[in-house]
Amino acid sequence: MGKITGFLEYARQTNPAQSPQDRIEHWKEFHPMLSDADRRQQGARCMDCGVPFCQSGVQLNGMFTGCPLHNLVPEWNDLLYNGNLPQALLRLRKTNNFPEFTGRVCPALCEAACTCGLHGDPVTVRENELGIVEDGYSRGLIRPQKPTHRTEKKIAVVGSGPAGLAVADQLNHRGHNVTVFEREDRVGGLLMYGIPNMKLEKSVVERRVKIMQEEGVAFVTGVNIGIDKSAEELRAEFDVVVLCTGAKEPRDLKVPGREARGVLFAVDFLTQTTRSLLNSRFKDRAFTSAAGKDVIIVGGGDTGNDCVGTAIRQGCKSVTQLEMMPKLPDSRANDNRWPEWPRVCKTDYGQEEAIALFGSDPRIYQTTVKEILMDENGDLCAIKTILLEPKKDKASGRMMMVEVPGTEKELPCQLLLIAAGFLGPQAYVAKAFGVETDPRSNLAAPQYATNVPGIFAAGDARRGQSLVVWAIAEGRAAARAVDEYLMGYSTL
């Protein structure tokens, strides 16, 4: 696929990024697109590799590699190289409902499995995907397509994140009547409030939601199912309910001083910031500000990095990111061979900005919070950290991170953000519908159907905290299961 010798002739070229000093002055996306000619050249790098691991979507050595959506990557790369972008868009949308989302925020599992990356740099699959879909929007090729027929079936989708949107999109195009319920004031779930604006501008989400509305999907915001509207009411009104509520139960810090003012969950901090940005460009002051504060973030993942970038844009005095685990190697270890997911250290945009602004990487590895310190008014003023080291647990044989006595250290802190991941969906959802949960507290739905007839589940609520691309894949699969349940067969 692509140009036969393209991977030999052309070097990998990614979308350029504004300098950290420039981009921290605004809240917009900061990766301008390559030119059309340069993008076609990147499509030319796709090899005629015979076995396209990029679209395989398999688990190797406990880690996933390749696209969970099984995107037809070589096909649309070839069409991109040959300048047939309308056809490339059709092939892209055949497997992915929302390439404008994954093209921005997906960690590109496809690129980790790209054959071109075995001895060199992988193809810019994610950015090619984004170039194709945005070209489609600019040409007016992505427009509302209403179903040609309607069934009498009514489906309620609870939650409007990527899984809920994918379920709704698929079932609506099948001809069913779909209503999506969202407890927040805007549609989008984590796409809207869990991912900062500079990573995914909210106009991108709103653009897609508007198309879905014009295609017939109904959206109801500000309604918390199980609290504002009972499960019984919903089941009486709809033939099927699909729970796509996400994994919204954050993992907490159980340390002395947790009650201090100035300790927030990362998801609340990010949500407040984005809502205030959208509502008033921060004029309402309805958010917790990091301005002038020493900020410490517990968690070294993507959410922690998003908090770093957000705190910097708010004008923090300093920012530190605590990571429990040891630093990953800078290049693949011998036991982490291609096409496995590369377990290497990644410096993301927030960390790049911290390095440019403060002169050092904000991450401190093998460290956790031992105690939270507060002043006489109950306000957070510092934290006490302690080093950790890996040790094998004799009973289970698992490697555990344990405290190293005598390594306590005090760090000034006026804002502590907990970005330690999520435990699963909030318990009231399962309780309201009488749905069983698995040992990890996720909704038990092995084939997307729960123990309650007519109640299905998909996305993070079913599989636990994961990626946008997995949520879309879950939503598509759940939609097919729902369609078979309602009709006895499925064309999805």
Separation in Å, CA 133 to CA 13, 31, 38, 69, 79: 19, 16, 16, 16, 13
How confident is the model over 375-397, as pLDDT tens digits?
Answer: 999 999 999 999 999 998 888 88
Q: Decide if 326 contacts 390 (C-beta within 8 A).
A: yes
Distance in angstroms (rounded) separating the CA atoms of residues 33 and 195: 20
Beta bridge partners of 7: none
The confidence score (pLDDT) of residue 1 equals: 62
State the pairing for strand pair 380-392/367-374. antiparallel
Fold of 6-138: Fumarate Reductase Iron-sulfur Protein; Chain B, domain 2 (1.10.1060)
Distance in angstroms (rounded) separating the CA atoms of residues 307 and 195: 10
Distance in angstroms (rounded) separating the CA atoms of residues 239 and 31: 44
**Which residue bears the tokens 């999907």?**
217
Residue 445, sorted as left (phi over 0), alpha (psi -120 to 50) or beta, turns out to be beta
Helix (H) or strand (E) segment spanning residue 6: helix 6-9
Q: Decide if 464 contacts 470 (C-beta within 8 A).
A: no
Q: Decide if 72 contacts 79 (C-beta within 8 A).
A: no
State the pairing for strand pair 240-243/399-403. unpaired
Q: What is the sign, positive or negative, of the torsion defined by CA atoms of 199, 202, 204, 209?
A: positive
State the pairing for strand pair 415-418/294-298. parallel
Domain boundaries, the chain: 6-138, 154-248+423-487, 252-420
The confidence score (pLDDT) of residue 449 equals: 98
Distance in angstroms (rounded) separating the CA atoms of residues 306 and 112: 22
How confident is the model over 131-181, as pLDDT tens digits?
Answer: 999 999 999 999 999 999 999 999 999 999 999 999 999 999 999 999 999
Q: Cα–Cα–Cα angle for 420, 246, 134, nearest 5°? A: 100
Q: What is the sign, positive or negative, of the torsion defined by CA atoms of 222, 227, 228, 229?
A: positive
Fold of 154-248+423-487: FAD/NAD(P)-binding domain (3.50.50)
Tokens of 243: 């729970």
Helix intervals (H) in 36-153: 36-44, 73-81, 85-93, 99-105, 109-112, 125-138
Nearest to 487 by CA among 224, 8, 119, 149: 149
Per-residue pLDDT 10s for the chain (492 aa) are: 678 999 999 999 999 999 999 999 999 999 999 999 999 999 999 998 888 999 988 999 888 999 999 999 999 999 999 999 999 999 999 999 999 999 999 999 999 999 999 989 999 999 999 999 999 999 999 999 999 999 999 999 999 999 999 999 999 999 999 999 999 999 999 999 999 999 999 999 999 999 999 999 999 999 999 999 999 999 999 999 999 999 999 999 999 999 999 999 999 999 999 999 999 999 999 999 999 999 999 998 999 999 999 999 999 999 999 999 999 999 999 999 999 999 999 999 999 999 999 999 999 999 999 999 999 999 999 999 999 999 988 888 888 999 999 999 999 999 999 999 998 999 999 999 999 999 999 999 999 999 999 999 999 999 999 999 999 999 999 999 999 999 999 999
- Helix, strand, or coil (residue 130): helix
Read out DSSP for 402-439? EE-TT--EEEE-SEEEE---EEES-HHHHHHHT--B-T
Fold of 252-420: FAD/NAD(P)-binding domain (3.50.50)
Distance in angstroms (rounded) separating the CA atoms of residues 446 and 286: 41
Nearest to 102 by CA among 234, 225, 195: 195
Q: Decide if 144 contacts 214 (C-beta within 8 A).
A: yes
Measure CA of the first residue to CA of the last residue in the chain; give whole Å: 28
The confidence score (pLDDT) of residue 389 equals: 96
Q: Cα–Cα–Cα angle for 253, 255, 260, nearest 5°? A: 85
